[in-house]
A and B are shown apart, each in its own frame.
Chain A
Amino acid sequence: DAKTTQPNSMESNEEEPVHLPCNHSTISGTDYIHWYRQLPSQGPEYVIHGLTSNVNNRMASLAIAEDRKSSTLILHRATLRDAAVYYCIPGVNAGNMLTFGGGTRLMVKP
Chain B
Amino acid sequence: DVKVTQSSRYLVKRTGEKVFLECVQDMDHENMFWYRQDPGLGLRLIYFSYDVKMKEKGDIPEGYSVSREKKERFSLILESASTNQTSMYLCASSFLVGSNQPQHFGDGTRLSIL
Contacts and interface: CB of A to CB of B under 8 A. Distances in A.
A95 B94 CA distance: 10
Chain B residues touching A, range = 20 to 34
A97 B101 contact: no
Interface of B is mostly: strand
A95 B31 contact: yes
A49 B100 contact: yes
Nearest to A44: B105
Contacts of B92: 43-44
B69 interface: no
Interface of A is mostly: loop
B45 A97 contact: yes
Interface string B88-103: 0011101010011111
A110 B65 CA distance: 45
A97 B106 contact: no
B96 A43 contact: no
A97 B90 contact: no
A95 to B, nearest CB: 6
Contacts of B33: 97
Interface of B: 4, 31, 33, 42-43, 45, 48, 50, 56, 58, 90-92, 94, 96, 99-108
